[in-house]
Amino acid sequence: MIFGFCAILTSKNMLERLLSAIVVGIGLASSAASEPDLRIGNATIIPPAGWQLVKKTEEKLVLRAADGKQQATITLMRLEADPTSEQFEQICKHRYEAEKRDAPDITIEPSPPHPSRDGATFFMIYSGSEKRNGRVFSGYLSLANRELITIYVEGISVTAKVHSDAFQAFVGGLKRK
């Protein structure tokens, strides 16, 4: 197939650009493929490109963005019984109150966050900011199969879009078995 493209190209410069693009594409594909899926409990998470694992225990993963401006903490809590929706709401309420208690000048949206359910999975998503130091943060609590996984991404001196993109990548990269 590459030879078909080469026959169409009439200049050496165009051929060099095509081959360069193919080599770069292969390099990017192989580096993305070699990016490890991280296991936590019975789930895996695919980190966004450029994020590095800085700490790993059985119940916690800590990753940092290449520029050092954001950090993600993914935690696991195993439960002894299947929770009710009321019990999950109580877990979410405790998380929200802890956020407010630890940093009284933060804003959180929605306020308070609203737990939801998708099939057998309970979840809650919230985001916020801390005025005094410019910190932005987003949290995702996901409870399924007696495992509560929390994804918490926070950053300082990052745009809302950069932060949101990283958070969405982490949440989208969570795969439960």
What would the pLDDT profile of 8-38 be if each residue is shown by its tens digit? 233 333 333 333 333 333 333 333 333 467 9
Number of CB atoms found within 10 A of residue 166's CB = 24
Which ranges of the chain have pLDDT less than 70?
1-36
Whether this prediction's pTM lies above 0.95 is answered by no
Q: What CATH number belongs to 37-176?
A: 3.40.1000.10
Give the β-pairing of 43-45 and 52-57: unpaired
Domain ranges of the chain: 1-34, 37-176
Separation CA 80–CA 99 (nearest Å): 25
